[in-house]
């Protein structure tokens, strides 16, 4: 029982981890993308569209499904759809300098609504065969260790590796240094000769694309290819996780597992139905506590990027 | 000192709208010299330097670097010409270490696949065998070498992108060469102002600058830190670098520079060798002849003490005393002018009186005319408390659309800001503010499409009229105005002077902070001169000399002055 709980906590965490890694990339450039929940929906939609196209291309014959190309098609389409969502957000906030919060919320509403509408036109028959490729464990569960850590599908590990790579790039490369400088003080970055607008666009599109994988994972792996209209709820937790992990994707790995565990706890701990929703609330409460602690400690490194939420005009001196 | 010209400005003119910031300025900068750029506030020093460093583009004139005409359109262009400017406001990322701030934005040494390929082909062609198997092997080898090039480039890119531990090596060399004392691993937010300045200077040197421009570098430093900075500047000069230092402190000009260029109201007055001049001659060049402005000035009628400030001390966020033991009295029916170089404590002084600034010590006493001049203590009171005490204090702040008015709100709502808390109705009263707004528009000739226009759409002069009109409508007994004519055209300026005079005749104690000495001398009854947060004297407006005030602004009277000079 406990074993299954831990296993599923890690599995569930992938949704949050993709979402928060993407959101971190975007926020590091000084753009608070509250559209992440909507973008994750778009990612899920893209994944479904891609999967349909893939199935059609092989004549919907389950025997012809190739694991690698099946998953790659889903991933690529999810990233394109979500990346377009990020691009839209970027265009509105970078070029048109709209208010980031309002734009983000609009993207969330738009993304969730458009997804819920268009998904009804996507034929999802045969998705269970595809899902089997997503969930195929990299190692059969023989003992407790492999059952908890090695029995997941490929996306679970991709999320962790991606988070580590992003953390490394942020901390150890000039690319990360430039991006952080833009999020902290765009005028300084601009004066230093960094292409501020270019970096911002890349981080918005890339951040969106990575977040979208969370939606894909939720539908194709966690739900085995069936559909549920609750992706945006996961999206909000992903945004909260960015704060929880103080803008460090490597901490986000542990944070996402905690969030995942708390989210599925009611199902496993035999929690009374009446207080189930209270338990689901815990991740949000934890995020608030983290916010309180970081603001009390007031270490400059654990504060949000200084220019987060602010538009940058070069002419405004 | 060799006499090669590093940079030359010819007939530079720059205007902002109708304001002429620089007019026909000629300037030469030699290699291995320190040139001081001296001038009052608004004399166009910073604008001129911003044109060299690529922030502004001159309207007319030429810039020559090493004898060749150049076009500087951005800071990047300036860097390419080895020109680096250290601004008053540092451009540093707080959460980074000194090292990371210095290397930020650095570009990879150029590596072109095409050029390298051509080199390899040329080399290979030299040993090209003629026949058979050898020729095939030769071709294969060449092909492999060429295919490898993009990968070599990628490898170099990744290697450059990685932040290795040795990235501070070159910075350390530069720091050692010029004698900078700095901990490169320290984060900027842990640094003092002087350390931050050091990082800025090293950053500019790291990028290979040969011409350094420092915009008022000493304004934020302690005397000891100034000594250190000057020692470093001299070392850089001896190394052949050219340095321009913008300042209005005469003693520093005398101490550090080889030559002095004096600007006044955007025009270049003269460039002289420091050794052949003295402070008095420089002051005269800086302030110029007195100009007659014909501002009316009535004799004060029955002046009474209205506001007494004693030993007021304010410590700013950097722990520096922004005000140090300031004492004065403002009398009713009188305009008290406050002169001083920008940032000498004018803002802190007015804000302390208005209850917006935390004070470290002293007394602010108001004498209430409604209660037969009973004394009211205004120290450490909030603006609301001051108002509730019945003190009718009006404040026209320097930052009109930040502190004075709300840009996105229309005239009526801005009037309401001062009155909406009055009355006990559930709904706000818009009728009276509307009348007031209409009244101000009519009386002060505010050029606006209507009273429902957002204030930010008005021009600077009209915004100021609205603000001053509102503050005067509150029937103040003390009216404080900070730079009320800054950025205004001549007619609007006279309108403001007239309004201030009207208030004075009504028996209001007016405190006027200004930068134009001619105006101060003609408008004010008494002029208080601030220098670095201290009162360097109070002079009578009638018969005050411009040079006298100019000297008082740049250095303190008495023993204090001698001590600073010795330290330098």
- Establish if A276 touches chain B: CB-CB under 8 angstroms: no
Alpha-carbon distance of B14 to B43, in angstroms, equals: 12
- Establish if A170 touches chain B: CB-CB under 8 angstroms: no
pLDDT tens-digit readout, B422-461: 767 777 788 888 999 999 998 888 888 888 888 888 877 7
- Supply the pLDDT for residue B264: 86
Contact B242, B6 (CB under 8 A): yes
The percentage of residues in chain B with a pLDDT greater than 90, rounded to a whole number, is 31
Which residues, 6+ apart, have CB-to-CB distance to B244 below 8 Å?
Answer: B29, B34, B35, B36, B37, B49, B211, B212, B213, B214
Contact B337, B497 (CB under 8 A): no
- Establish if A315 touches chain B: CB-CB under 8 angstroms: no
CA distances from B220 to A29, A156, B189, B257 (A): 31, 54, 16, 19
First to last CA, chain B: 23
Six-digit token pair at B22? 């620089």
* Helix, strand, coil percent content, chain B, rounded in steps of 5: 40, 25, 35
CA distance B214 to chain A (A): 16
CA distance A47 to chain B (A): 32
- Supply the pLDDT for residue B557: 52
- Supply the pLDDT for residue A213: 96
Topology match between the domains B5-95+187-287 and B291-392+477-483+505-568? yes
| B chain contacts of residue A177, beta-carbon cutoff 8 Å | 96, 100, 103-104, 163
- Supply the pLDDT for residue B556: 60
- Establish if A302 touches chain B: CB-CB under 8 angstroms: no
User: Helices marked H in B506-545 — which ranges?
Assistant: 517-523
CA distance B94 to chain A (A): 8
Q: Which of B79, B91, B163 sits opposite A174 (nearest CB)?
A: B163
Burial A108-129 (b: 16+ CB within 10 A, else e): bebbbebbeeebeebebebbeb
CA distance A312 to chain B (A): 15
Q: Which of A180, A181, A191 sits opposite B75 (nearest CB)?
A: A191
- Supply the pLDDT for residue B212: 94
| A chain contacts of residue B161, beta-carbon cutoff 8 Å | 173-175
Which residues, 6+ apart, have CB-to-CB distance to B555 below 8 Å?
Answer: B249, B250, B251, B531, B536, B561, B564
Instruction: Give the residue extent of every domain in chain B.
Output: 5-95+187-287, 124-161, 291-392+477-483+505-568, 399-474
Beta-strand relationship, B526-531 and B534-540:
antiparallel
Q: Which of B79, B162, B187 sits opposite A173 (nearest CB)?
A: B162
pLDDT tens-digit readout, B119-134: 888 888 888 777 778 8
- Establish if A177 touches chain B: CB-CB under 8 angstroms: yes
CB contact under 8 A, A188 and B94: no
Phi, psi of B251 (to 5 degrees): -65, -35
Burial A204-228 (b: 16+ CB within 10 A, else e): bbbbbbbbbbbbbbbbbbbbebebe
First to last CA, chain A: 61
CB contact under 8 A, B103 and A306: no
- Supply the pLDDT for residue B341: 82
Instruction: Mutation target for A interface from B55, B56, B95: give the one with most A CBs within 10 A.
Output: B95
- Establish if B336 touches chain A: CB-CB under 8 angstroms: no
CB contact under 8 A, A300 and B162: no
Which residues, 6+ apart, have CB-to-CB distance to B107 below 8 Å?
Answer: A193
Domain B291-392+477-483+505-568 has CATH 3.40.50.970: no
Residue B214 predicted with pLDDT over 90:
yes
- For residue B101, the chain A residue with the least C-alpha distance is A181
- Supply the pLDDT for residue B565: 37
| B chain contacts of residue A301, beta-carbon cutoff 8 Å | 95
| A chain contacts of residue B47, beta-carbon cutoff 8 Å | none
- Establish if B156 touches chain A: CB-CB under 8 angstroms: no
Instruction: Mutation target for A interface from B97, B104, B106: give the one with most A CBs within 10 A.
Output: B104
User: Helices marked H in B383-516 — which ranges?
Assistant: 383-388, 411-416, 431-443, 460-473, 490-505
A90 or B375: which carries more pLDDT confidence? Answer: A90
- Supply the pLDDT for residue B1: 46
Residue B31 predicted with pLDDT over 70:
yes
- Establish if B154 touches chain A: CB-CB under 8 angstroms: no
CB contact under 8 A, B161 and A174: yes
Residue B155's SS3 state is: helix
CA distances from B478 to A24, A234, B125, B301, B305 (A): 52, 59, 89, 16, 11
pLDDT tens-digit readout, B297-335: 888 888 888 999 999 999 887 778 889 899 999 999 999
| A chain contacts of residue B92, beta-carbon cutoff 8 Å | 185, 188
- Establish if B207 touches chain A: CB-CB under 8 angstroms: no
CB contact under 8 A, B103 and A301: no
DSSP string, A268-306: HTT--GGGHHHHHHHHHHHHHHHHHHHHHH--GGGSPPT
Which residues, 6+ apart, have CB-to-CB distance to A268 below 8 Å?
Answer: A1, A4, A5, A8
Alpha-carbon distance of B331 to B507, in angstroms, equals: 9
pLDDT tens-digit readout, B484-509: 887 777 778 888 898 999 999 999 99
| A chain contacts of residue B76, beta-carbon cutoff 8 Å | 193
Q: Which residues of chain A carry a pLDDT beneath 70?
A: 315-317
Domain B5-95+187-287 has CATH 3.30.1520.10: no
Contact B349, B389 (CB under 8 A): no
CB contact under 8 A, A175 and B93: no
- Establish if B106 touches chain A: CB-CB under 8 angstroms: yes
- Establish if B107 touches chain A: CB-CB under 8 angstroms: yes
CA distance B66 to chain A (A): 24
CB contact under 8 A, A194 and B105: yes
Alpha-carbon distance of A314 to A317, in angstroms, equals: 7
Query: pTM for this one?
Result: 0.79
- Supply the pLDDT for residue A313: 81
| A chain contacts of residue B95, beta-carbon cutoff 8 Å | 180, 184, 300-301, 306
Please report which confidence band the pLDDT of residue B110 belongs to, taking 50, 70 and 90 as the band edges.
Answer: confident
């Amino acid at each position: 029982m406990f074993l299954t709980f831990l296993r599923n906590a890690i599995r569930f965490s992938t949704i949050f981890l993709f979402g928060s890694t993407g959101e971190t990339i975007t926020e590091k450039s000084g753009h608070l993308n509250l559209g992440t929940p909507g973008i994750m929906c778009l990612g899920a939609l893209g994944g479904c569209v891609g999967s349909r196209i893939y199935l059609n291309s092989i004549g919907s014959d389950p025997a012809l499904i190739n694991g690698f190309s099946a998953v790659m098609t889903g991933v690529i389409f999810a990233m394109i759809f979500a990346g377009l969502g990020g691009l839209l957000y970027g265009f509105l906030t970078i070029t048109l300098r709209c208010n980031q919060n309002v734009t983000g919320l609009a993207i969330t509403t738009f993304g969730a609504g458009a997804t819920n509408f268009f998904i009804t036109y996507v034929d999802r028959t045969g998705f269970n065969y595809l899902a089997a490729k997503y969930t195929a464990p990299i190692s059969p569960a023989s003992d407790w260790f492999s059952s908890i850590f090695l029995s997941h599908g490929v996306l679970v590990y991709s999320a962790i590796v991606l988070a580590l790579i992003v953390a490394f790039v942020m901390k150890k490369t000039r690319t990360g240094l430039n991006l952080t400088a833009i999020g902290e003080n765009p005028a300084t970055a601009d004066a230093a000769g960094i292409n501020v607008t270019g970096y911002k666009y890349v981080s918005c599109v890339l951040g969106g694309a990575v977040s979208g994988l969370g939606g894909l994972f939720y539908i194709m792996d966690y739900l085995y290819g069936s559909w549920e209209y609750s992706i945006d709820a996961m999206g909000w937790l992903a945004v909260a996780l960015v704060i929880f992990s103080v803008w460090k994707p490597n901490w986000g790995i542990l944070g996402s597992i905690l969030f995942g565990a708390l989210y599925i706890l009611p199902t496993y701990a035999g929690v009374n139905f009446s207080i189930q929703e209270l338990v689901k609330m815990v991740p949000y409460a934890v995020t608030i506590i983290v916010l309180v602690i970081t603001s009390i400690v007031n270490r400059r490194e654990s504060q949000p990027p200084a220019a987060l939420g602010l538009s940058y005009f070069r002419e405004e001196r | 000192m060799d006499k090669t010209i590093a940079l030359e400005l010819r007939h530079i003119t720059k205007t902002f709208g109708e304001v002429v910031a620089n007019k026909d300025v000629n300037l030469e900068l030699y290699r291995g010299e320190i040139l001081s750029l001296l001038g009052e506030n608004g004399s166009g020093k910073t604008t001129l330097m911003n044109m060299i460093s690529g922030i502004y583009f001159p309207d007319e004139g030429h810039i020559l670097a090493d004898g060749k005409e150049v076009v500087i359109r951005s800071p990047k262009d300036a860097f390419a010409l080895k020109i680096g400017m250290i601004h008053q406001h540092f451009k540093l990322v707080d959460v980074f270490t000194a090292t990371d701030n210095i290397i930020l934005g650095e570009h990879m040494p150029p590596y072109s696949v095409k050029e390298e390929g051509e080199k390899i082909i040329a080399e290979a062609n030299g040993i090209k065998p003629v026949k058979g198997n050898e020729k095939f092997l030769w071709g294969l080898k060449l092909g492999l070498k060429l295919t490898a090039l993009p990968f070599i480039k990628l490898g170099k890119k990744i290697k450059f992108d990685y932040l290795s531990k040795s990235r501070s090596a070159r910075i350390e060399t530069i720091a050692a060469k010029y004698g900078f004392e700095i901990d490169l691993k320290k984060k900027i937010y842990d640094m003092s102002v002087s350390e931050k300045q050091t990082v800025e200077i090293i950053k500019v040197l790291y990028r290979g600058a040969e011409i350094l421009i420092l915009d008022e570098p000493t304004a934020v430093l302690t005397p000891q830190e100034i000594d250190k900075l000057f020692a470093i500047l001299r070392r850089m000069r001896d190394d052949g670098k050219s340095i321009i230092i913008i300042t209005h402190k005469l003693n520093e000009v005398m101490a550090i520079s080889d030559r002095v260029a004096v600007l006044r109201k955007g025009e270049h007055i003269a460039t002289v060798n420091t050794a052949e001049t003295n402070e008095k001659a420089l002051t005269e060049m800086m302030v110029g002849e007195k100009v007659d402005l014909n501002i009316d000035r009535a004799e004060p009628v029955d002046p009474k003490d209205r506001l007494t400030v004693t030993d007021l001390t304010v410590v700013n966020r950097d722990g520096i005393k922004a005000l140090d033991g300031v004492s004065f009295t403002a009398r009713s029916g009188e305009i008290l002018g406050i002169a001083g170089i920008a940032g000498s404590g004018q803002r802190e002084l007015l804000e302390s009186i208005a209850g917006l600034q935390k004070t470290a010590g002293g007394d602010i006493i108001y004498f209430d005319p409604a209660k037969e001049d009973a004394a009211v203590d205004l120290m450490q009171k909030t603006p609301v408390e001051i108002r509730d005490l019945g003190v009718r204090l009006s404040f026209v702040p320097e930052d009109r659309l930040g502190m004075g008015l709300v840009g996105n709100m229309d005239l009526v709502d801005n009037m309401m800001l001062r009155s909406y808390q009055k009355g006990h109705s559930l709904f706000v009263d818009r009728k009276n503010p509307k009348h007031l707004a209409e009244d101000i528009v009519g009386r002060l000739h505010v050029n606006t499409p209507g009273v429902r226009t957002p204030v930010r759409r008005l021009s600077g002069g009209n915004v100021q009229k609205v603000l001053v009109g509102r503050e005067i409508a509150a029937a103040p007994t003390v009216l404080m105005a900070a730079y009320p004519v800054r950025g205004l055209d001549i007619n609007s300026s006279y309108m403001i002077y007239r309004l201030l005079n009207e208030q004075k005749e009504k028996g209001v104690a007016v405190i006027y902070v200004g930068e134009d000495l001619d105006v101060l001398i003609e408008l004010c009854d008494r002029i208080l001169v601030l220098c670095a947060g201290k009162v360097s004297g109070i002079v009578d407006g009638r018969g005050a000399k411009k040079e006298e005030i100019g000297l008082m602004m740049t250095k303190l009277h008495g023993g204090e002055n001698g001590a600073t000079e010795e330290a330098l």
